[in-house]
Amino acid sequence: MSRIAYVNGQYVPHQHACVHIEDRGYQFADGVYEVVPIVGGKLIDEKGHLDRLWRSMNELKMDAPMKRRPMQLVMAEVIRRNGIENGLIYMQVTRGVAPRDHPFPKNAQPALVMTAKRLSMEKAAQKAEKGVTVITVPDIRWQRCDIKSVSLLPNILAKQEAVEKGAYEAFQFDGEGNITEGSSTNAWIIDQDGTLITRPTSNSILAGITRAALIELLKEKGIKLELRSFTVDELRNAREVFLTSSSSYVQPVVQVDDKVIGNGKPGSVSLELRTIFKDYMDR
């Protein structure tokens, strides 16, 4: 099945999908985005993702390209036309096309693009069974990391460094030596006493939808969570480490920089939480 993209009101073959050279997303990274998982043909936490998209637009005083209901219909149609059973839908809103000038344009129409891609649940499961490695890097991002902006250069530099070092992800640390989050994931640890810890939401991190869903599941199961910052040292000396995101779900981490976590295999609690999250997605 050939891939189909949605671009400003039209469904077009993926290889011919394009936007204007003066789209403000292209020129200024003046845009926001969402990535929503699709599992068994259904969107996971669609409401949470749309709430966050609207919040990102509001924070940047950006008009919505359409109301929520029609946007949901476009999402469903993109999934249908691409025949996706398991994968992701990517949606991006920019402030639109206007002659290049920094202030907000007066009459630009916000632009909406959506694409969808397949993901293999088998490959994801294999990665979880093996665990992944992460590196730590200074967080050089701006002070509004709560907005899911397409301005991702620092995240890209962090991820590239991870790739060059053979790692899967880069966890960033702030000026106080506390971990903020991964370049595209939220970071969690279980300390030597067995306490589950993740950083509270603020302008320093993206409020992950996977993170929020997992926190709800922990409450349901009566599993205690400490919402606090943790240091690079605590990360390196943790009993278990894992990360969460819409594309990785709950992914165990088995090495941080040169430090092996536990016995170098995914921790039992991380794997249990992954199963709990998988069951939630299959509900």
- Residues marked active site are found at 148
Q: Which of 19, 35, 157, 223 binds ligand PMP (CB under 6 A)?
A: 35
Q: Which is nearer to ligand PMP, 98 or 206 (by Cβ)?
A: 206
Candidates 184, 204, 251, 270: give the one binding ligand PMP (CB under 6 A). 184
Buried b / exposed e over 71-88, threshold 16 CB at 10 Å, is beebbeebbebbebebbb
Whole-number minimum distance, CB 69 to ligand PMP, in Å?
Answer: 22
Closest separation between CB of residue 210 and ligand PMP, Å? Answer: 3
In contact, 137 and 165? CB cutoff 8 Å: no
The binder of ligand PMP chosen from 56, 94, 136, 245 (CB under 6 A): 245
- The yes or no reply on residue 87 touching ligand PMP (CB under 6 A) is no
Q: Does 56 bind ligand PMP (CB under 6 A)?
A: no
**HEC states along 51-90?**
HHHHHHHHHCCCCCCCCHHHHHHHHHHHHHHHCCCCEEEE
Give the gyration radius of the chain's Cα atoms: 19
Measured in whole angstroms, the distance separating CA 54 from the mean position of its chain's CA atoms is 16
Rounded Cα–Cα distance for residues 211 and 244 (Å): 6
CB of 151 to ligand PMP, least distance (A): 11
Q: Does the footprint of ligand PMP cover residue 244 (CB under 6 A)?
A: yes
The one-letter code for the residue type at 97 is V
Look at the block and give the residue holding tokens 């998982």: 37
Alpha helix ranges (H) inside 204-253: 209-221, 232-236
When asked if residue 246 is in the footprint of ligand PMP (CB under 6 A), the reply is: yes
Least Cβ distance, residue 86 to ligand PMP (angstroms): 16
In the complex, what is the shortest distance from the CB of residue 84 to ligand PMP, in angstroms, rounded to a whole number? 17
Among 186, 204, 229, 270, binds ligand PMP (CB under 6 A): 186
Beta carbon nearer to ligand PMP, 246 or 255: 246
Which ranges of 112-193 would DSSP assign to H, the alpha helix? 121-130, 153-164
In a 3-state reduction of DSSP, which class is residue 9?
Answer: coil
Query: 48 or 266: whose CB is closer to ligand PMP?
Result: 48
Site for ligand PMP in 201-220 (CB under 6 A): 206, 208-211
Q: Cα torsion for 54, 60, 66, 68, to the nearest 10°?
A: 0
Q: Identify which of residues 169 and 240 has a Cβ nearer to ligand PMP in the complex.
A: 169
For ligand PMP, give the closer residue by CB, 133 or 149. 149
Q: Does 255 bind ligand PMP (CB under 6 A)?
A: no
Site stretch for ligand PMP (CB under 6 A), options 14-22, 94-102, 104-112, 240-248: 240-248
Residue entry with tokens 């890097």: 137
Window 139 to 168, contacts with ligand PMP (CB under 6 A): 155
How many C-beta neighbours within 10 Å does residue 226 have? 12
Based on CB atoms, which residue is closest to ligand PMP, 245 or 270? 245
Asked if 89 and 35 touch (Cβ cutoff 8 Å), the reply is: yes
Residues that bind ligand PMP (CB under 6 A): 35, 155, 181, 184-186, 206, 208-211, 244-246
